Structure 1
Amino acid sequence: MARLGVIDLGSNSVRLVVYETKREDAAKPFRTLVDEKKMAGLAAYVTDGALSNAGIARAVAVLGDLLKLADNLNCARVDIFATAVLRNCANSEAATAAIEAAIDHKVRVLSAREEAHLGFVGASIGAPLAAGTLIDVGGGSTELTALAADGDHAGISIPFGCVLAYANYVRCVIPTPAECRTIADAFRKELQALPNLEGYRSERLYGIGGSVRALAKMVAAVWGDDTRPKSISRKDMEGLADLLQGDVSVFAHRAVKAAPDRVHSLVPGMIIVRTLAEELGAAEVIPCKYGIREGYLVTHML
């Protein structure tokens, strides 16, 4: 058995997950040993479309710390991949090269299609997904993947994520009702501009990524349940929206309990998920246990 590390360089957080491999014929050919997350907030360092020198320095510092941790854990191999924050910035090649030179390690910038497919591979670990649409609400982008009985097909990336929404539309920490409407309207406009949105309509959405996990934790915290829900209904999301508008203090205290590291991005992420459900005609969102990091592991490292 080998220890393999995967570092996910995202727009909001940077995460190292260390896996121990198991038999190749196992339904889940790995077990998770360490899951270490650092909040970097790199989306806030994008100025005029480019990742600033301060943002590059921040990425270098966080990646350096995680690489040291992986080395201390005796990882035989560590791969780093980046998503929207490096893919979409105007200086993508230069910023990636600067980060690689500083940490002396390759950084693989995933295309939007690669990101969507790896998310599907990870979400499918343990049990195949039925027909529907897979959503991944990240800090800098939102991915949609159409699922059929024979696997994933069309995939699109929308340059609108929870951290970017927070940075662009929210003045304080918890959005006001007016700011919530502005986020929803802006995201809905992005969706309605897509030429092929109809291909992603489904009664069932599968969700991966931190925003969906945080939303599930928030549903559990508000309804007083110790376990995360297996499904998040439209009614659940409407209830959270009503609580936010009716008693922001109670909402904020529950958010701190449910997702303390995502208090600022929780509501923008919730709005994006709810808008997706409305526009795609979905009755529920089913959170998946695994996602893009596990998809990368089984596709590129095992």
Structure 2
Amino acid sequence: MLYGMIDIGSNTVRMAIYRIEGAHVEMLMKKKHTVGLAAYLKEGVMQQQGIDKAVEILQEFKAFLLAFNITHVVAFTTAALRNAKNSQAAVGEIERLTGLPIRVITGDEEATYDFIGATHDLSEEAGLLIDIGGASTEIVSYSSGKIEQKISLPIGSLAFRTKYVHGMLPTKEECQAMREEAEATIRSATAFAGVREASIAGIGGTFKGAAALYNALFDEPFENTKMKTSRIPEIIQRFDGGHGLNEDMIAILMKTVPDRIHTVIPGLIIAEVLAERFHSKVITYSDSGVREGYIYAEVLAH
């Protein structure tokens, strides 16, 4: 069975095509557009321009699915549309104009699917799973392969960039303002107060970009997925918008994070604060997440 999955995120809109045979899941291809829906939230309301952008991309994806007669399709959306004051109306208009039913998954559901997808092939029995999205950050603590605590926090890479950053890259002062909000928000997650020395599995675009940037800066092989958290502040400082970037640094940004140049540093600031809070020495990037978790939980389980 060919299965199409569309993930309308706060930063990107993605479509992935999977082949599912029994319990075997193989991703055949994926397409994405960096739309930045979270940036179209004005005073909590999703603007018409954001709705129009989503519709345009979804119509393109739908035409692709129809061309290959892929009829098993699910579309879901996360923080940007979920948290909008006009969420129901905005999602309803997108559904009407595209003919695609869209499921608004809760922060709790997103954290659960993240966990299922990322830990399916993970060797660690205990630790933290973190997904820094465009408008929200999901944190899951787990032990013996089971969830202990989970939370969705209202901080994200694109939301921070939109709120605090005026240039392409943040200044030192803007970095500090983002760091302070991240620290205050993460302190509010009191259910995680006792978590210490936790290994972190990072999923999603922020950690994917961070891993690529890390490997380029520190001469690690392309396939390396482990990042020492002690080096994250150095990455942030190197790309401080207050300093002039030389040609080599600009080239590294363009080669490693072409779609996330404007959001990778805000995302890394959240990662830095989380690593400090949980006294974590290493972050391991996992390429599986919410979409794979949805398949394991909602498709294969039925």
**Common topology (TM > 0.5):** yes
Structure 1 unaligned segments of length 5 or more: list them. none
Alignment of 1:180-219 (within 5 A): 180-219=175-214
Q: Which residue number in structure 1 is paired with residue 149 of structure 2?
A: 154
Deviations 1:133-157 (A, max 9, x none): 1100000100101111141121111
Instruction: Select the residue among 129, 132, 143 that pairs with 2:138.
Output: 143
Distance 2:282 2:232 in 1: 10
Deviations 1:35-74 (A, max 9, x none): 1001111111111101011211111111111111222233
Q: How many residues align?
A: 297
Are 1:57 and 2:52 matched, yes or no?
yes
Contact 2:149 2:191 (8 Å CA) reproduced: no
Contact 2:33 2:57 (8 Å CA) reproduced: yes
Going from structure 1 to structure 2, the CA distance change for 1:180 and 1:128 (only over 3 Å counts) comes to same
Q: Which residue number in structure 2 is paired with residue 15 of structure 1?
A: 14
Deviations 1:115-141 (A, max 9, x none): 000001100223454211110000010
Alignment of 1:55-204 (within 5 A): 55-204=50-199
Deviations 1:192-239 (A, max 9, x none): 233323144443111111001100000111123342323111123133
Are 1:224 and 2:219 matched, yes or no?
yes
Going from structure 1 to structure 2, the CA distance change for 1:74 and 1:153 (only over 3 Å counts) comes to farther
Distance 1:100 1:209 in 2: 25
SS at match of 1:133: strand
Contact 1:146 1:199 (8 Å CA) reproduced: no
Structure 2 unaligned segments of length 5 or more: list them. none
SS at match of 2:217: helix
Going from structure 1 to structure 2, the CA distance change for 1:205 and 1:230 (only over 3 Å counts) comes to same
Deviations 1:227-270 (A, max 9, x none): 23231111231331342246633443311110101100111111
Distance 1:259 1:192 in 2: 30
Comparing 231-240 with 170-179, which one deviates more in the overlay?
Answer: 231-240
Deviations 1:99-119 (A, max 9, x none): 111111110111111000000
Contact 1:133 1:202 (8 Å CA) reproduced: no
Q: Which residue number in structure 2 is paired with residue 234 of structure 1?
A: 229
Distance 1:242 1:45 in 2: 29
Contact 1:3 1:20 (8 Å CA) reproduced: yes
Give the counterpart letter for 2:274 in structure 1: L
Distance 1:3 1:77 in 2: 7
RMSD across aligned C-alpha pairs, in angstroms? 1.6
Are 1:248 and 2:245 matched, yes or no?
yes
TM-score by length of 2: 0.93
Contact 2:202 2:283 (8 Å CA) reproduced: yes
Contact 2:134 2:156 (8 Å CA) reproduced: yes
Distance 1:16 1:146 in 2: 28
Distance 2:209 2:58 in 1: 24
Give the counterpart letter for 2:18 in structure 1: Y
Distance 1:247 1:117 in 2: 42
Comparing 190-199 with 252-261, which one deviates more in the overlay?
Answer: 190-199
Give the counterpart letter for 1:278 in structure 2: E
Going from structure 1 to structure 2, the CA distance change for 1:150 and 1:188 (only over 3 Å counts) comes to same
Distance 1:76 1:152 in 2: 33
Distance 2:48 2:162 in 1: 18
Contact 2:204 2:287 (8 Å CA) reproduced: no
SS at match of 2:76: strand
Distance 1:224 1:270 in 2: 19
Give the counterpart letter for 2:167 in structure 1: C
TM-score by length of 1: 0.93
Distance 1:176 1:113 in 2: 34
Comparing 45-54 with 126-135, which one deviates more in the overlay?
Answer: 126-135
Give the counterpart letter for 1:186 in structure 2: E
Contact 2:199 2:283 (8 Å CA) reproduced: yes
Moved over 4 A (4+): none
Going from structure 1 to structure 2, the CA distance change for 1:17 and 1:200 (only over 3 Å counts) comes to farther
SS at match of 2:19: strand
